[in-house]
Amino acid sequence: MPLAAALLRADAGGVSDRVDQGRAGAAGGRRGRRLGATLQRLAASAVTPLVPGDYLDLFAPLRAGAPLRARVVQVQRETRDATTLVLRPGKDWAGHVPGQYVRIGVDVDGVRRWRAYSLTSLVDAPDGLVAVTVKAIPDGVVSGHVARRLRPGALLHLDQATGDFTLGAHRGPTLLVTAGSGITPVMGMLRNHLHELSDVVLVHSAPTSSDVVFGAELRAWAAEDRLRLLERHTSVDGLLSVEDLTASVPDWRERHTWACGPTAMLDDVEAHWADAGVADRMHTERFRPTVVATGEGGTVSFAASGAVVEADGGTTLLDAGEDAGVLMPSGCRMGICFGCVVGLRSGSVRDLRSGDVTTAVPEDGIRIQTCVSAAAGPCEIDL
């Protein structure tokens, strides 16, 4: 009942908020609100134990009040491994600031997987569409699916935009340092703000000329003298060093710099800027690491109880937790009853029956059966 009640409340809240907006300022506002709330309760009691939204989802998955989703409107190939998705977000989409990213849940082979992608579209597009650009990484489950199999019409799941890799109020001299898909948040900034910026240098690295995502658009701007574009084609010229960078942009200290790309590149520029005493002028964006070290066993932390134990690869998380005095929910102890399912906040675990490894980061909301899972590297459990 607590769950059902919470769902009911959550749903009722959503609708009455909408009623509030719709009737704001009207004379009969309060009566309307009461009527709305009554209708909402009636609808809830007519469909219990589901919620009205479960039925509305059949017809209007993008409506206000629904969990945030998006419909794929267009799938555009940018380069051989980059794809832009044009999306119609649900009614509750709150907009974004250029440079921010959005977490997108894509059902790949039936499994919902969440990834963060930078928004590259105009913030005030008249059609209300937004765009993200996804670069396929080798063996990338989600990026590979987006590049090869996703079609217009598909429904995706969405969070609100987030991230502080943005220009803020800055409109002065600007240096942008990007590599690979690191161009995507910067493209969001440029498309929205280039006309307000007077002095922009973009140093972008990609293996070859044809690998430069948004290459044509960037070169057109450079041709019109709207920005200075320095392309580094790493398959010929090698990786960009900090020395190369500072040599080609001698006034780098005077500029505010936004950098996005591989970890090594970001580490280098951050260190260099810090040594020069201008760390406050460096803004970086790090993408989620895609490779997580996995092994046999590891340190298991229990988030709520604070217990930390070392468990080997053959010890179930249930046993490890019980031995550490954590109050573990349990049932059949053989993987069939699902009475022990809890959240895996982060880290990797291995299913002792199949050997399959499950990896989670905090926002993923992944749940696992502790009675048949063992640590496969450090992991954190929601207990």
Cβ nearer to another protein, comparing 50 with 122:
50
Closest distance of CB 292 from another protein, Å: 17
Q: How far apart are CA 330 and CA 341, in angstroms?
A: 8
Closest distance of CB 77 from another protein, Å: 22
Cβ nearer to another protein, comparing 30 with 353:
353
Terminal alpha carbon distance of the chain: 21
Site for another protein in 14-73 (CB under 8 A): 42, 45-50, 54-55, 58
129 belongs to the binding site for another protein (CB under 8 A) = no
- Helix-strand-coil split of the chain, %, nearest 5: 35, 30, 35
Cβ nearer to another protein, comparing 40 with 178:
40
From candidates 220, 264, 271, 332, binder to another protein by CB under 8 A: 332
Cβ nearer to another protein, comparing 21 with 45:
45
Cβ nearer to another protein, comparing 244 with 382:
382
In this structure, is the dihedral angle defined by the CA atoms of residues 379, 293, 142 and 93, taken in order, positive or negative?
Answer: positive
What value, to the nearest 5°, has the Cα angle with vertex 370 and ends 365 and 373?
100
Token digits for 80? 């051989």
381 belongs to the binding site for another protein (CB under 8 A) = no
9 belongs to the binding site for another protein (CB under 8 A) = no
Q: Beta-carbon neighbour count of residue 16 at 10 Å?
A: 17
- Residues 103 and 116 sit within 8 Å (Cβ to Cβ): yes
275 belongs to the binding site for another protein (CB under 8 A) = no
Cβ nearer to another protein, comparing 42 with 293:
42
How many residues make contact with another protein (CB under 8 A)?
Answer: 43
Closest distance of CB 112 from another protein, Å: 4
From candidates 113, 228, 253, 286, binder to another protein by CB under 8 A: 113
Site for another protein in 70-109 (CB under 8 A): 107-109
Q: How far is CA 274 from CA 101, 266, 316, in A?
A: 26, 12, 45
Q: How far apart are CA 159 and CA 115, in angstroms?
A: 10
- Residues 140 and 146 sit within 8 Å (Cβ to Cβ): no
Q: How far apart are CA 159 and CA 246, in angstroms?
A: 38
335 belongs to the binding site for another protein (CB under 8 A) = yes
10 belongs to the binding site for another protein (CB under 8 A) = no
Site for another protein in 154-183 (CB under 8 A): none
323 belongs to the binding site for another protein (CB under 8 A) = yes
- Please enumerate in sequence order all residues whose Cβ is within 8 A of that of 179, keeping only pairs 6 or more positions apart, or say none: 204, 205, 206, 240, 260, 261, 262, 265
In this structure, is the dihedral angle defined by the CA atoms of residues 122, 127, 128 and 130, taken in order, positive or negative?
Answer: negative
Select the span of 79-87, 166-174, 238-246, 347-355 touching another protein (CB under 8 A).
347-355
Backbone angles phi, psi at 291, to 5 degrees: -100, 120
From candidates 122, 331, 357, 359, binder to another protein by CB under 8 A: 331
Question: Which residues make up the interface to another protein (CB under 8 A)?
Answer: 1, 3-4, 42, 45-50, 54-55, 58, 107-113, 316, 319, 322-323, 331-339, 341, 352-354, 365-367, 369, 371-372
